[in-house]
Structure 1
Amino acid sequence: MERPSSNDITSAKAVLLGALASGVNGPTWLVLKIIFLLLGVCLTAMLSLAFSSSDFIIAGHVLLLVIIGAMLFILLNG
């Protein structure tokens, strides 16, 4: 069985293969960083909406989610 060369593998296949193999490859890290960036954008929008609604219980919950997301990002990149 012939292995495909590195030029024949698309980025989607590289991410899938990276998820199944030991270690992490470059495209998987790139997708993970993009996902965390989008998570940060969503949580920032949620936090601004929570503060504008003057409901501080929801703002506290969203702030906790922001802290958890930031800690995950720091721990994965550290």
Structure 2
Amino acid sequence: MVHDLKIQPEFFESVSLGIKTFEIRKLDRKYGFGDLLILHEWDGDYTGRYVEVRIVYMTTYKQQADYIVLGIEKVKKRGA
């Protein structure tokens, strides 16, 4: 499954550099192991840059209700 999501510029950079290897997200959709996240950089509007990551780990341990930690692995980066 593919999920298109917004991501703020400071987090986008860390993910695109491979430094940030997780996402904490509201559990408002059916995430699954191996799913693809297309993280579109958003600074109030789309910048045109995005990074594709794959979910390699998931846990709700010690999270607020309805939130999940997604371990991610970069697939590729695109855009300006």
TM-score band, normalised by shorter chain: under 0.3
* TM value normalised by structure 2: 0.21
> TM-score scaled to structure 1, two decimals?
0.21
- Which one has the largest radius of gyration? 1
Higher relative contact order (CA 8 A, sep 6+): 2
